[in-house]
């Protein structure tokens, strides 16, 4: 059983592989981690999509 505390995620390793792989050869296994962190709802529950500013007048 796992404890509730999550250890920190970090995308740097997966991105380094994607950066040097031609588009056609990028494998879904390698993009999954990026998709989960950037796109999936689970991760986005509390993410800020847009920082918006509007002046008072």
Site string for another protein, 2-21 (x = CB under 8 A): xxxxxxxxxxxxxxxxxx--
Give the whole-angstrom CA distance, residue 34 versus residue 11: 7
- Helix H or strand E segment including 17: helix 12-19
The size of the interface with another protein (CB under 8 A), counted in residues, is: 52
By CB under 8 A, the residues from 18 to 57 that bind another protein are 18-19, 22-24, 26, 28-43, 45-57
CA quadruple 11, 6, 39, 51: dihedral sign: negative
Binding residues for another protein (CB under 8 A): 1-19, 22-24, 26, 28-43, 45-57
């Amino acid at each position: 059983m796992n404890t509730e505390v999550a250890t920190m995620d970090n995308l740097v390793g997966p991105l380094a592989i994607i950066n040097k792989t031609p588009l056609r050869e990028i494998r879904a296994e390698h993009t999954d981690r990026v998709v989960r962190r950037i796109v999936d709802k689970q991760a986005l529950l509390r993410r800020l999509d847009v920082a918006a500013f509007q002046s008072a007048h």
